């Protein structure tokens, strides 16, 4: 099956392409605090998940499968003419970019990712999502944006987001497709864990860890035990580490990208 490409845009920068993938209920607005700094060393390639932002919301569940996202990222890489690129994933996007790097390490210079419970979820957690698939899909079809707004990670519930980022994310929440979000929960989040395979990582990796998000601590410990070539940078932030501690986040990413580029 040929991949359907999500919306993406390339921001002019000074360096190799940098694939940037946001998380659920987010959009390109996630990266407002980072793009201008990161384009000093890279060329941002910002992707929006299906059902989010400016991307379509395909009705075929197959397009939401994490392996289809991997195929879509690979198609984008070829489309922009890059042989290798850096990769950065946030939350659910981190699960997808980790999977991409496990599948196509030959095309990745380095990878960076933030706290992602979905990326390291145990089988019992993902099975619970899959078992409730029909209920979730029906609820979002019935309730629409009311169901979206009830999700705890909706931007309106954020406590530490800078005002401009929150305003932009809330504006883009109007673009969320309820059926697309439901399919993302079931068919993307429900299959996104790379826990069983993360020991096979071959790519230099940086976990930008928001230490205020205590529920991620066991997953961080697991990643440190199992994931080869991993460095961890602690930042004084919660889940939205790239926005809550943007200066430190940007500095860590720039240093990591620059070090990966050195011979």
pLDDT at residue 78 in the model: 97
Query: Using an 8 Å Cβ cutoff, are 21 and 96 in contact?
Result: yes
Write the pLDDT tens digit of every residue in 92-102: 999 999 999 99
Using alpha carbons, select from 170, 183, 176 the residue that is nearest to residue 139: 183
- DSSP annotation of 7: P
Whole-angstrom CA distances from 84 to 19, 69, 171 are 10, 17, 33
Helices assigned H by DSSP within 122-202: 123-131, 133-143, 145-149, 163-173, 178-183
Describe the strand order of the beta sheet including 43-47 as a list of residue ranges. 8-10, 43-47, 17-21, 85-89, 108-114, 205-210, 230-235
Beta bridge partners of 89: 21, 113
At 95 the three-state DSSP class reads helix
Percent of the chain with pLDDT over 70: 99
Whole-angstrom CA distances from 227 to 157, 203, 205, 207, 231 are 32, 10, 9, 11, 10
The token pair at 6 is: 């999500």
d(CA 9, CA 44): 8
Query: Using an 8 Å Cβ cutoff, are 141 and 178 in contact?
Result: yes
What b/e string do you get for 159-184 counting C-beta neighbours within 10 Å, with b at 16 or more? eebeeebbebbeebbeebbbebbbbb
Answer yes or no: pTM beyond 0.75.
Answer: yes
Write the pLDDT tens digit of every residue in 190-240: 999 999 999 999 999 999 999 999 999 999 999 999 999 999 999 999 999
Write the pLDDT tens digit of every residue in 101-127: 999 999 999 999 999 999 999 999 999
The token pair at 162 is: 């800078």
Query: Using an 8 Å Cβ cutoff, are 55 and 48 in contact?
Result: yes
What residue ranges define each of the domains in the chain, with the CATH number in brackets?
A: 8-261 (3.40.50.1820)
Give the contacts of 245 (CB within 8 A, at least 6 positions apart): 210, 235, 236, 237
The token pair at 136 is: 């979730």
pLDDT at residue 248 in the model: 98
Local confidence band at 3 (pLDDT 50, 70, 90 cut-offs): confident
């Amino acid at each position: 099956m040929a991949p359907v490409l999500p919306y993406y845009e390339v921001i002019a920068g000074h360096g190799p392409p940098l694939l940037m993938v946001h998380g659920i209920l987010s959009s390109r607005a996630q990266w407002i605090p980072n793009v201008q700094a990161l384009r000093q060393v890279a060329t941002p390639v910002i992707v929006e998940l299906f059902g989010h932002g400016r991307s379509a919301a395909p009705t075929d569940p197959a397009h939401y499968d994490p392996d289809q996202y991997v195929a879509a990222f690979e198609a984008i890489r070829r489309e922009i003419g890059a042989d290798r690129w850096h990769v950065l994933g946030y939350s659910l996007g981190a699960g997808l970019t980790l999977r991409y790097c496990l599948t196509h390490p030959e095309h990745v210079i380095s990878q960076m990712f933030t706290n992602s419970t979905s990326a390291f979820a145990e089988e019992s957690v993902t099975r619970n999502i899959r078992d409730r698939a029909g209920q979730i899909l029906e609820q979002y079809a019935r309730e629409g944006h009311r169901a979206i707004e009830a999700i705890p990670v909706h931007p309106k519930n954020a406590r530490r987001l800078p005002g401009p980022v929150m305003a932009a994310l809330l504006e883009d929440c109007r673009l969320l497709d309820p059926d697309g979000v439901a399919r993302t929960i079931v068919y993307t989040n429900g299959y996104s864990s790379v826990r069983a395979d993360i020991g096979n990582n071959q790519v230099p990796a940086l976990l930008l860890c928001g230490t205020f998000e205590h529920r991620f601590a066991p997953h961080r410990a697991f990643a440190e035990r199992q994931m080869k070539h991993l460095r961890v940078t602690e930042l004084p932030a919660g889940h939205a580490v790239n926005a809550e501690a943007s200066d430190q986040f940007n500095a860590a990413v720039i240093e990591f990208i620059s070090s990966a580029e050195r011979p």
